[in-house]
Amino acid sequence: MPRFEPFPALRYAPGHDLDEVLAPPYDVLSEADVEAYAARSEHNIVHVDVPRGGEDRYERAGALLRQWVAEGVLVRDERPTLTLYRTRFTDETGAARDLVGVLGALEVVDEGAGGVLPHERTTPKASTDRFDLTVATRANLSPVWGLSLATGLTALLQEPGEPLGEVTVDGVTHVVERLAEPHRVAAVAAYVSAADVLIADGHHRYGVARRYRDVIRDGTGSRSTAAELTLALVGELVAEQVSIAAIHRLYRRIPYAALRAALADRFDLEPAPELEPGILRRMDELGRLVLVGPDGTGEWLVPKPGAFSGVRALDGSWLEAALVGTEAEVDYQHGVSEVVEAVTGGRAEAAVLIRPTSIAEIGRTAREGLLMPPKSTFFTPKIRTGVVIRDLATP
C-alpha cells in the first residue's frame, strides 16, 4: 500500500484573496487564460506554475517562488499538516454535490509496483516542461488527483478542519481547511495508506514525479528525501464523491464518408435530435453514442447485437474496435457545444459524442489492473492550483 503523509505546507499568507492568487491546473489553461490570471495579481500562482519567456523561464520561476517565501507572500505551516479540499456545486442533472478529498504527500512508486494505479493509457505528451519546472522550483505545485479504495474515507473527512478560505468559480465553491491536530492527521494518513490509490487525473504529473525521484536518488544515493513522495489530493472512489464528464472524440485525416462507413459496420445509424447539453442524458438512457457530421447535426450510433462481443463495455473501446485499420486520427474535446464548433469550424472531419465512464467500470479497472483507452474520463471540478505547495528542498 502507498505511504500518505502530512508535510509542512507552503500556503498564501492570510489576507490574500484566493480568487486573485489561485488558478486552474496548467494543462487546462490557454495563453489567454494565463494572461488573464497573471493580470489578477503579481502573486497569482501562474507566474510560477506557467512561466513564460526565454530559456531561463524555469530558473526565474524558481527564484520568484523563493522570493515569495522570503517576503512572506507564502508562509510555511509550523508542523506537518494535511489539507481538506471541498467542492460544492450542482451537476448537469441538477443534483447538489458536496465532494471532499485530502491533500497530502503520496508515495511515488515504480511503474507496475502496485499501490498507486493508473486507470487509463496515456497519450504521448512532452513532460520536459513539468520536469524542468520541478527541478528549478524544487516544489510540487499542482497535485495529482487520486481515488482511494479505502471504504469510509469520506466519513473520516466530514468533520471540518481549520477554515483557510473559499472561492466560487463558475458555480463551484472551493473550500480549503487545514488539519493540524496530530491525532486526526495520523488517523487520516493511516487510513489513506491502508488501500490502493487509483490516479484519476495527473498521470503525467505522477510520471514526472517518478523521473524526478530517480534523479534525486542518483544524485544523493538516498531513498529518504522529499522526492520519494509527491503532492496529491485523495478522495474516496464512491459514486457520491466522484463527478465524471465525458471527453468526446474528434476525428481527422479520414473523409467523413469513410468514417461513417466504418462505424456503420458495427452501429446502426438513426437520426438524432438537436445537439444540446440534454443529449448526454438521452445517450445514457438509451445506451447510444452520437456521430456529429460536418454540418453539426447528429446521428445516433446504436450498437448492433453482438457487434462488440469480447470488447470491454466502454464507449472509447467500442470506437477503437470499430475504427481499427482506418486512417482516422483522434483528438479529444469535452462539452457538446465545443465539439459541434470544432467540427463545423473545420478542426475535425467529424466527431463522436460518448458517455461518461461509470463508477462500476472505474472500480473494475482498479480491482483487475486494467487500463482504459486514453481520455476515458474527465473528472470535475478541477482542483485549483496554489492552495498548497509542497517544498521538495526539505525532508
When the pLDDT of each residue in the chain is averaged and rounded to a whole number, the result is 92
User: 394: pLDDT confidence band, cut at 50, 70 and 90?
Assistant: confident
Per-residue pLDDT tens digits for 308-353: 999 988 899 999 999 999 999 999 998 899 999 999 999 999 999 9
DSSP 10-55: EEEPTT--HHHH-B--GGG--HHHHHHHHHH-TT-THHHHS--SST
Domain ranges (residues) in the chain? 4-244+379-391, 247-355
Question: In terms of residues, how long is the chain?
Answer: 395
Q: What is the pLDDT of residues 221-266, one digit of tens each?
A: 999 999 999 999 999 998 888 888 788 999 999 999 999 999 999 9
Collapse the DSSP code of 245 into the 3-class scheme (helix H, G, I; strand E, B; otherwise coil) and give the result.
Answer: strand
Are the beta carbons of 26 and 385 closer than 8 angstroms?
yes
CA atoms within 13 A on the CB side of 33: 13
Q: What is the pLDDT of residues 88-143, one digit of tens each?
A: 998 866 789 999 999 999 999 998 888 998 766 665 555 588 999 999 999 999 99
Q: How would you classify the pairing of strands 144-148 and 229-236?
A: parallel
Q: Give the model's pLDDT for residue 124.
A: 55
Tell me which residue has cell 465512464.
357
What is the CATH topology of the domain spanning 247-355?
3.30.1760
Q: Measured between alpha carbons, how far is 234 from 232 in angstroms, rounded to an integer?
A: 6
pTM: 0.83
Pairing of strands 172-179, 162-169: antiparallel
Q: Is the pLDDT of residue 181 over 90?
A: yes
